[in-house]
Chains A and B, each alone.
Chain A
């Protein structure tokens, strides 16, 4: 609608991520580098996926099952990349520990490891918000707004920002859960993350039906809150167990 509205939508999608960045991540340069590299990884995954799907586009938007296949393949690929990201992180952790020994400093604390995981997740979430929400937000800086048929009560940009916020939250915290699950071999956590991602992706399919977004978005937010709670519980458990050990 105006520049103010455009900035408002952008902040709606990215505000909490920005707050997290400024308070936690910007203090430690290594975490900024982690954010950048995980954003790059997400971008590369999107490019590969779009390269794969390019011959099939534009999809016929009447039937929704091609979109379901699209989502399933995309989520599967991104979860595979998350595993790869974790393997690279393990190597990096060994390098960092070796470096810490060289300079006679303590090795990485568990909080450090969780911070790195958080930074990785934030990179993913921010990349999602930028590519799916901010890139279509450019018309919102102009004089008018836009409504879609499927979701006619609120402007399209607002819906898009709200969904992006939910997904950013999911991405950010599921990375922490995933890294913890991989490092401890916890099967529940390892399965939790891909399942949540897939369910969240499929829930957006509901947006195809008219009035679907009034069902889909609350479900999405329930999923996001669930991820948050699970992550909080896991982190709390880890912190208290370390304190008992110390």
Chain B
């Protein structure tokens, strides 16, 4: 029997979700082992609470105002730092900055269309270089004779966003040619790609790529964008390098083609530049900024300080937010911020679980009443 599609759908999503899950699990274990008792030391003043330090005797309104003020100041600080980074990149002074960024915390973006990260991304695109950042990339590797894996997600949801009719569409000739012999082996490769720096030989260099394995240290901002109309955080992007296949697939479904036309030329060029001719490793990987990992883990760690139930609820909320973002990504084909949906869902679920679900479930479970 031929292998069914169930073997291969969703590889990229799982390729991104499993490291996120592992990271969260590590953070939860660390939190459980390090803070069993409540913290009695006075809270240290950091960038996150420059303006207002929470005191238990303040009223709720005061605390809320203080929190908002803290958040505003924090965003301003981060915006200033990111603009500084853009300036340095513009004048090609980012050499020392790479080392600094390995130990720096993270870069959060401003939501304005003229925001600094948008400029950064555009500059890096115009120079056709990698961003000076740490990003995480999950890329399925496929053998040369079958290159369909990477974009199964877009095809799947491209099919769905049409009016639902199931028709056999004519397959173009050269496409059949490239798929003969077709055993597909998909190995989701997990690599951390860093900005191109021949001096950094910490890891392996992959053939035809400028990526290296390096430890997941420090934070960074997101990957490339294939269009520049979204002005917020560019942390998740789908890059596509199998240029010849794009042409063939444009005949398959009009919806996929029209979406691809905007981004196809750019990625086609990039594909040609990077690999020369048709690559052996057809790659359309998903990239996730390491700052996103950090924020997800921070939220789950905070939930871990309360209870295991909140941990599980926040984990599910974040993972489902990430899944929604990835699906949206394959539909929109633009760089998307990975944080909003996940963090919003995570916070909502945390409070719902803590306020609503816990009395209910603990009340029934301690009475050995289950359903």
Contact = CB atoms under 8 A, between A and B. Distances in A.
A31 B357 contact: no
A160 to B, nearest CB: 7
Contacts, number: 182
B324 to A, nearest CB: 11
Contact of B353 (A47, A102, A136): A47
Interface residues of B, number: 56
B9 A75 contact: no
Contact of B6 (A31, A51, A98, A131): A31
A95 B364 contact: no
Interface stretch (B60-68, B99-107, B312-320): B312-320
Interface in B276-309: 307-309
Contacts of B369: 67, 70-71, 204-205, 207-208
Interface stretch (B110-118, B153-161, B193-201, B209-217): B153-161
Contact of A49 (B10, B148, B168, B360): B360
B360 A67 contact: no
B305 to A, nearest CB: 12
A164 B169 CA distance: 49
Contact of B363 (A58, A71, A204): A58
A144 to B, nearest CB: 15
A3 to B, nearest CB: 11
Interface in A175-214: 197, 200-201, 204-205, 207-208, 213
A71 B308 CA distance: 24
Interface in B330-371: 349, 352-353, 356-357, 359-371
A104 interface: yes
Contacts of B368: 148, 150-151, 156, 159-160, 163, 204, 207-208, 213
Contact of A131 (B1, B156, B312, B320): B312
B77 interface: no
Interface string A18-54: 0000000001111111001101100100110111011
B312 A136 contact: no
A38 to B, nearest CB: 11
Contact of B357 (A47, A71, A104, A205): A47
A213 B148 CA distance: 55
Interface stretch (A81-89, A105-113, A226-234): A105-113
Nearest to A96: B5
A240 to B, nearest CB: 17
Q: Is the interface of A mostly helix, strand, loop or mixed?
A: helix
Given A47-B356, A109-B4, A103 B166 contact: no
Contacts of A37: 320, 323
Contacts of B7: 27-28
Contacts of B168: 101
B325 to A, nearest CB: 14
A161 to B, nearest CB: 11
Contacts of A43: 312-313, 316, 349
B370 A29 contact: no
Interface in A209-244: 213
Contacts of A99: 5, 9, 152, 155-156, 159
A112 B370 contact: no
B50 interface: no
A2 interface: no
A40 B9 contact: no
A12 interface: no
Contact of A133 (B17, B352, B365, B371): B365
B370 A132 contact: yes
B323 A33 contact: yes
A4 interface: no
Instruction: Give the most central of B2, B8, B319, B357: most A CB within 10 Å.
Output: B357
B252 interface: yes
Contacts of A160: 365, 368
A59 interface: yes
B357 A39 contact: no
B364 A132 contact: yes
A36 B17 CA distance: 11
Instruction: Give the most central of B10, B307, B365: most A CB within 10 Å.
Output: B365
A102 B111 CA distance: 38
B361 A94 contact: no
Contacts of B4: 100, 105-106, 108-109, 112
A36 B360 contact: no
Nearest to A78: B371
Contact of A51 (B152, B313, B356): B356
A29 B309 contact: no
B171 A75 contact: no
Nearest to B348: A47
Contact of B316 (A36, A71, A104, A136): A36
28 contacts: A36-B320, A37-B320, A43-B312, A49-B360, A50-B360, A54-B356, A71-B371, A94-B164, A96-B9, A99-B156, A100-B5, A101-B166, A103-B148, A108-B5, A112-B6, A130-B308, A134-B312, A135-B309, A135-B361, A135-B362, A148-B366, A148-B368, A160-B365, A164-B370, A167-B371, A200-B371, A204-B368, A207-B367
Given A36-B320, A47-B356, 20 more contacts: A27-B7, A29-B10, A32-B17, A37-B323, A43-B312, A49-B360, A50-B357, A54-B360, A57-B360, A95-B156, A96-B156, A97-B166, A98-B159, A98-B166, A108-B4, A131-B357, A148-B366, A160-B368, A200-B371, A208-B369
Interface of B: 1-11, 13-14, 17, 148, 152, 155-156, 159-160, 164, 166-169, 171, 252-253, 307-309, 312-313, 316-317, 319-320, 323, 349, 352-353, 356-357, 359-371
